[in-house]
Structure 1
Amino acid sequence: MMKLLQFGAGNIGRGFIAQIFAHAGYEVVFVDIDDVLVRELNRQHRYRIEVKDASPQTLWVEGVRAVHFNDRDIVVKEISTADIAATAVGAQALPSLYPVIADGLVERWRSGGGPLDIIICENLRNAAEIVRRGLQEHVPPNFPLDEMVGLVETSIGRMIPLMPDEVRRAEPLLIYAEAYNTLIVDKKGFKNPVPAVPQIDAKENMKAYVDRKLFIHNLGHSATAYIGYVTDPKMVYIWQAVEHEDVRPLVERVMWESGHALIAEYPDEFNEVNQQEHIDDLLRRFANRALGDTIHRVGRDLLRKLGPNERLIGALRLDLKHGIEPDATIHAIAAALLFRATDDKGQLYPRDEEFVKVWYPKGVEAILTEISHLDLDNPLHRTVIQRVKESHDRLAIMRK
């Protein structure tokens, strides 16, 4: 039996990647730092996914096991014998994997094993190059890294909400997910043949699809949360925002600004017809009441989402590059600055609390230059900063 080594047993690792590989006949071995998840995976050797959609479905993922990340020697051995690997740990945690993956690749090489393809399931542009540089720092001099590892970028479209605390305590392995389960991957990243997994869609021009995911899907999802929140701070669910008569048209405009910029950037991949189909499908999925996705979950982590190449500012830069008027995107950025949605306990996300206490008092210009890295010496950026400030001020007055 072929073996997938899955780093990260969280929402995407357990709720998407492991599912499609297990159902294709792979043994799935998780590597995770969470004691409860590791214990329960090794005790039950299976878990349940509840598909929350118009046609609900229960999926079982069978024959799984787990290794604790701190059991380094065992993890190295698993890497040396895996047929394929994947990461889904979050961009901030990704560097913690480099030393052990490097050791596993060295062990694999010394034992005469072939190259290992690693599917990188992170919201991260240029992920393959970032991971390659990280691994390079931990392998011996003259180690044939590029011969021993294939680094495969992805576009992860499946939406998985946060599990309620009481559900997670009662059944730690249970996952809720939407029905969508296509995994777009970089065909050119593989050293071995593309896995025979039906849900895998291998693309030649992966950069186009990474950018589409970030600048239409992620942007539109976050804009729904931010615009929904400033429209009515009492909204809880994303579907409520999508169904609001003032929110949906503005979110659609945000998505289309990026849609037009992406057509200009990748004319061989995108056009008005396939962008319209994609945007309509996303808005339908955002409106999925059964999924129960919250405005807090989708909008949280402002310090990351206002980053220079992230969904908001990266999309803005692409609009400016191609002469697309970014009026709705500017409105979404201004709304993000006022985002204060809390979880079911009334708590801000910890990094959002830092944003509110440390960064927001510094003002719009400081946020957009120091976090978003817009350049006051660039006339286009300077104009955008002023427009965001004006939009922010109008929204702030309306909220009082």
Structure 2
Amino acid sequence: MKAVHFGAGKIGRGFIADLLHNTGYEITFVDVNEKLNAEMNQYHNYYLYVIQEDYRRKEIDKVSALSPITQPEEVTQAITDADLVTTAVIADNFPKIANNLAAGLKARLDAGKERVNVIPCENAFYCGVMLKKELLKTGILTEEELDKIAGIPSTAVDRMVFAADRDGRDGIDVGNTFELVIEKEQLVDPDAEPIKDAEYADNLDKYLERKLCVVNGGHTMSAYIARQMGYDIIQDYFMVPENKQLTRDIMLQAGAFIEKKHGFAHEDMVDYIDATIGRWSTPGVKDTVERIAKAPIRKLDPEDRMVKPAVQCEEYGLANDLILKGIAAAFLYDMDGDEQAAQIQAYISENGIEKAVSHYTGIEAGSRIYNEILKYYNEYAAQKTNK
């Protein structure tokens, strides 16, 4: 079996390709990193190191790589011949892969090949819908043609992965637990399971919202708060019991609306949260606040990991004060080199925080949660000034 995977970053190689390899696929990566491509084409393998198993080395073999820039024809042919296509590129980068992917699917259609599953594995709400929109924007395929040649489900993804330079090779440290939930109804064959060890769900909403709002939201808000406290490494923040408890409480607030909306048992939610925080606190793991907090404009979107749970908790009459503090901290995030952080700070300088809150979050000016965010923002700003 052959799989084409867009994105040879940490999630791509350390998570999705690991599952593809376990399923029995030969994997062709499509990535712009020529150095990494050359290494995979030289050795046709790479290594993962399982953190909780004393960094046990695991080989991922039968791999090769193509450049979408210098080898577009080869990418098209690979998609034409593939049994499965997957992505792990960050949903914001869908426009960058859309032309290559659409061209491959069109060639596949013209060649009379069967429909293929195209599974985007991204931390974004209904990433399958997002990818389909970008493919249609290329004009290479009509919606009818796209539906005729591809099944594009959305997913929920979660695994701890870190870059590692071991044994003189570019490897990846990975956690021993993961979650990949695939929207069953959108697969070419809803009864098939194209990726081993994934979970196939009829109701993806509950998993998507749990992952996005509880896990991604808790991690991101912790990073923004940690930045205000002066931390650069998130594990240093978690070493302080009060900080770990704050993150747990933020996640429990987000989890409360998930429980109410989707029927998760509270005990299960608590176990899910504690296991997640335990993973983030694994000894020897080193993850930066900069990585977790990057791209704050996207993360402040009304449908993303912070504002969504804040608004939903408000609608359900549930506590959300700690979530609102996390949102406020995001407006003070000022990491050098983060273009979106710079854009937010420039907007605040020109228009004021009052306009910025509504502009980026969609929260109505004058509402209770709007006023609370402003209050917490000013408290954080005062603390920063007094340092």
TM-score, normalised to structure 2's length? 0.92
The answer to whether the 8 Å contact 2:91/2:127 transfers is no
- Give the Cα–Cα distance (whole angstroms) in 1 for the partners of residues 161 and 319 of structure 2: 32
Structure-1 residue corresponding to 2:329: 335
**Is residue 115–residue 188 contact of structure 2 (8 Å, CA) maintained in 1?**
yes
Residues 1:366 and 2:367 are matched in the alignment: no
In structure 2, what is the Cα distance between the partners aligned to 1:322 and 1:364?
27
Which residue of structure 2 aligns with residue 249 of structure 1? 245
For 1:21, the aligned partner's letter is L
Mapped to 2, the partners of 1:301 and 1:375 lie a distance apart of 22
Query: What percent of counterpart residues are identical?
Result: 24
Provide the secondary structure at the position in 2 that maps to 1:93: helix
Whichever residue aligns with residue 172 of structure 2, its letter is: I
- 1:66-104 Cα offsets, whole Å, 9 max, x none, are 111122211111111100010111112102222222222
Report what 1:188 is aligned to: 185
How far off its partner does 1:259 sit? 0.8
| Contact 1:21/1:28, CA 8 A, preserved across alignment | yes
1:375 aligns with 2:369: no
Query: What does 1:166-205 correspond to in 2, within 5 Å?
Result: 167=165, 171=169, 173-192=170-189, 193-195=191-193, 197-205=195-203
| Contact preservation (8 Å) 1:258, 1:319 | yes
Residue 224 (structure 1) aligns with: 222
The aligned runs of 1:178-327 (5 Å cut-off) are 178-192=175-189, 193-195=191-193, 197-230=195-228, 232-233=229-230, 235-267=231-263, 270-327=264-321
What's the CA shift for 1:275? Answer: 0.8
Alignment gaps of 5+ in structure 1: 342-346
Superposition deviation, residue 278 in structure 1: 0.7
Question: Who is 1:395 aligned against?
Answer: 380
Post-superposition offset of 1:55: 3.8
Residue 64 of structure 2 aligns with an amino acid whose one-letter code is R
Name 2:342's counterpart in structure 1.
353
- Contact 1:181–1:199, Cα closer than 8 Å, also in 2: no
CA separation in 1, counterparts of 2:61 and 2:89? 22
Conserved in 1, the CA contact under 8 Å of 2:217 and 2:305?
yes
Match of 1:145 in 2: 146
Name the CA shift for 1:354/1:142 in 2 (closer, same or farther; >3 Å).
closer
1:338 shift after superposition: 2.5
Q: CA RMSD in A?
A: 2.2
How far residue 361 of structure 1 moved from its aligned partner, in angstroms, is: 5.8
1:47 and 2:46 aligned: yes
CA 396–46 in structure 1, closer or farther in 2 if over 3 Å, else same: same
- CA separation in 2, counterparts of 1:357 and 1:364? 11
Q: Which amino acid aligns with 1:351?
A: Q
Give the structure 1 partner of residue 14 of structure 2.
15
CA offset digits 1:207-260 (Å, max 9, x no partner): 211111110000111122122232x30x23222222323322221221111111
Once the two structures are superposed, residues 92-141 of structure 1 have per-residue CA deviations (whole angstroms, 9 ceiling, x without a partner) of 21022222222222221222211110111112212222222332342455
Q: Distance in 1 between matches of 2:53 and 2:227?
A: 26
| SS state at 1:113 partner | coil
CA distance in 1, matches of 2:377, 2:144: 52
CA contact (8 A) 2:210 2:258 kept: yes
Distance 2:376 2:109 in 1: 56
Q: 3-state DSSP class of the match of 2:153?
A: strand
**294 and 142 in structure 1: CA distance in 2 versus 1, 3 angstrom threshold:** closer
Note the C-alpha offset of 1:157: 0.7
Q: Tell me how far apart the structure 2 counterparts of residues 217 and 306 of structure 1 sit (CA, whole Å).
A: 15
Q: Following the alignment from structure 2 to structure 1, what is the Cα–Cα distance between the partners of residues 22 and 349?
A: 47
Q: Structure 2: which 5+ runs fail to align? A: none
Distance in 2, matches of 1:221 and 1:142, equals 36
Report how far residue 334 of structure 1 moved. Answer: 1.6
State how many pairs are aligned: 382
What amino acid does structure 2 have at the position aligned with 1:39? Answer: A
Residues 134/348 of structure 1: CA separation in 2 closer, same or farther (3 Å cut): closer
Q: How does 1:67-86 map to 2 (within 5 A)?
A: 67-70=66-69, 71-86=71-86
Distance in 1 (alpha carbons) for counterparts of 2:232 and 2:363: 32
Deviation, 1:196, is: 5.5
Closer/same/farther in 2, CA of residues 142 and 301 from structure 1, 3 Å limit: closer
Q: Distance in 2 between matches of 1:360 and 1:226?
A: 19
- Tell me the equivalent position of 1:344: none
Q: Aligned partners of 2:4 and 2:314: how far apart in 1?
A: 41
Q: Which stretch of structure 1 is more off in the superposition, 205-214 or 235-244?
A: 235-244
What is the CA-CA distance between 1:360 and the residue it aligns to? 5.4
Change (3 A) 1:260 1:140: closer
Identify if the C-alpha distance between structure 1 residues 350 and 52 changes in structure 2 by more than 3 Å, giving closer, same or farther: farther
2:177 partner SS: coil
- 1:190 deviation in Å? 1.0
The letter for the 1-side match of 2:358 is T
Give the aligned residue type for 1:45. H
Name the counterpart of 1:126: 126
Question: Is the CA contact 1:177–1:291 (under 8 Å) kept in the aligned structure 2?
Answer: no
User: Using a 3 Å threshold, how does the CA distance of structure 1 residues 141 and 384 change in structure 2: closer, same or farther?
Assistant: closer
Contact 2:55 2:173 in 1 (8 A): no
User: Post-superposition shift, 1:59?
Assistant: 1.3
